[in-house]
Chains A and B, each alone.
Chain A
Amino acid sequence: MKNILLLAVLTIFATSAAHAYVDDAHSRAMEAATPQAKQGFLVRQEYWAGTLVTKQPSVVKHQLFKGNTYWFWLGSDEDSAQVTVHIYDPKGNLADAEAWQKGNKAAVKVVPKVTGTYYISFSIDQSKAKKNRWALAYGYK
């Protein structure tokens, strides 16, 4: 009976921990989004998330519409992480209108000059952890 209880507790803990990884990274991204959310940007519920090794540049492709302003917010659950995010237009040209990074949070703003597929490039530049959970969210106005 004791073993069954222990197994149940461990299972719940393991499940919670697995969710916590993703949620913590997303929470950091949402912290980064707070100023824009207050300015009326609609923050999307769906977001990108995963695990990255340090200094591995990664890219997500995303459809943007000319006329809107977008912010992308990147967060990592690893406190020691230094993350960066930039955006490139459909021809591969840097399209950052504004960008900042602070520890395990970073953000980039873009005002698309054309409608089409954009490339959001991001990386964990420094970290004590070998693998880092990350989450990338965006909002528009």
Chain B
Amino acid sequence: MKLNPLLFFFAAAVAAPLPPPAQQLDLDKLPSQSKVIDQVVVPVPSEVFAALDKLGKPRWAGLIHREASKAKPVGEAPQIALMLGSIIAEGFIAVEAEDTDEVKDIGRAILSFSNAIGVRKAVVRRANSIIEFADKKKWLQVRGELDGALNDVREAMVELNSESLAHLVSVGGWLRGTEVVAEVVGTDYSRDGAELLHQPGLLEYFQRTLAGMKPRLRDHALTSKVRKGLADIRPLAGGDDARVSQKSAKEIAVVAGNLVKAISSKP
């Protein structure tokens, strides 16, 4: 059998290894050397909960705000968006607690709040799946559906030209998730646990996003409170140093907790 030498050359070219990656990324030269993608994907609460679980399983059942799943939409659109995000985060807590009834109630609450803000259609399938998987105790799938609900709600809001409300959904979810983590870490302190609160990039992103909203939304009473709260949390969550003290963790829990209360209270 005669082999074509060109074929060898082609095969060698295709299989040629790519150069090894640089050992160091020069962060000071980022915009000039690499295009920085200006899109932020906000982690879901279950990401930080998963990390917290590995440090010693918190008693999740005692951390659920059971009134959240019974809440009715109140206030204007910004408040409903913040509440919706917070309720989805509550769903992740209920999943950690493996509380079937609570997760199902949250699935229904997600529908009710989505309806109030005009994006029910986008989330019906997800809400039904949350209820169905919770019944079967398929918790990994429930987590996936809660993430999907969050994503679908936000996408539907963007399609309705309500990108700012989509951001508020993310902020509401982040605040409730942060409150829980800070509460757990503040009570049962460990350095690794407290480090989970070190989220400077996300805090900067939320502050920038809220500050960039149209005055009607930016200066809304509740949004203003949230902006003030984020500004209070930022120095507590560490700067360049990832260390967060127990005192700071407790303070973060108070600030985030007060905001979650304000979000779910009648205006």
What residues make up the interface of A, taking CB atoms closer than 8 Å to B? 40, 42-48, 50, 52, 56-63, 65-68, 82, 84, 86, 88, 90-94, 96, 99, 101, 114-117, 119, 121, 125, 138, 140-141
| Complex: chain B residue closest to A117, CB-CB | B201
A61 touching B50 by the CB < 8 A rule? no
User: Which of the 9-residue segments B17-25, B221-229, B250-258, B259-267 touches chain A?
Assistant: B17-25
A68 touching B27 by the CB < 8 A rule? no
A66 touching B196 by the CB < 8 A rule? yes
A42 touching B143 by the CB < 8 A rule? yes
Q: Shortest distance in angstroms between A57's beta carbon and chain B's nearest beta carbon?
A: 4
Which secondary structure dominates chain A's binding surface?
A: strand
Chain A residues, Cβ within 8 Å of B140: 40, 42
With known contacts A65-B48, A67-B54, A116-B242, A58–B23 Cβ distance under 8 A: no
Chain B interface size range: 35 or more
B242 touching A115 by the CB < 8 A rule? yes
Q: Which of B54-76 contact A (CB under 8 A)?
A: 54-55
Q: Please, how many angstroms separate the alpha-carbon atoms of A54 and B47 in the complex?
A: 33
| Complex: chain B residue closest to A61, CB-CB | B201
Q: Which of B140-184 contact A (CB under 8 A)?
A: 140, 143-144, 147-148, 150-152, 154
B39 touching A60 by the CB < 8 A rule? yes
A46 touching B41 by the CB < 8 A rule? yes
A45, A48, A86, A119: which has the most chain B beta carbons within 10 Å?
A: A45
B199 touches A (CB below 8 Å): yes
Across the A-B interface, give the 3 residue pairs with the lowest CB-CB distance, nearest first: A67-B51, A117-B201, A45-B151
B4 touches A (CB below 8 Å): no
B217 touches A (CB below 8 Å): no
B26 touching A92 by the CB < 8 A rule? yes
A115 touching B198 by the CB < 8 A rule? yes
- Contacts between chains A and B (CB distance < 8 A), count: 128
B124 touches A (CB below 8 Å): no
What residues make up the interface of B, taking CB atoms closer than 8 Å to A? 18, 21-27, 30, 33-37, 39-44, 46-48, 50-52, 54-55, 140, 143-144, 147-148, 150-152, 154, 192, 195-196, 198-202, 242
Q: Please, how many angstroms separate the alpha-carbon atoms of A102 and B253 in the complex?
A: 45
A45 touching B195 by the CB < 8 A rule? no
B30 touching A59 by the CB < 8 A rule? yes
A42 touching B147 by the CB < 8 A rule? yes
Excluding A48-B41, A57-B34, A121-B21, 5 further A-B contacts by CB distance (< 8 Å) are: A48-B37, A63-B202, A92-B27, A114-B242, A116-B242
Q: Please, how many angstroms separate the alpha-carbon atoms of A67 and B49 in the complex?
A: 10
Q: Please, how many angstroms separate the alpha-carbon atoms of A93 and B33 in the complex?
A: 16
Chain A residues, Cβ within 8 Å of B39: 48, 50, 60
Q: Please, how many angstroms separate the alpha-carbon atoms of A119 and B26 in the complex?
A: 11
Q: List 21 A-B contacts (CB under 8 A).
A: A42-B46, A47-B41, A48-B39, A56-B35, A57-B33, A57-B34, A59-B34, A60-B37, A65-B196, A66-B192, A66-B196, A88-B25, A92-B26, A93-B25, A94-B22, A96-B21, A115-B195, A116-B200, A117-B201, A119-B27, A125-B18
Q: Please, how many angstroms separate the alpha-carbon atoms of A115 and B157 in the complex?
A: 31
Instruction: Choose from B22, B27, B36, B47 the contact partner of A65 (Cβ within 8 Å).
Output: B47
Q: Please, how many angstroms separate the alpha-carbon atoms of A62 and B39 in the complex?
A: 10
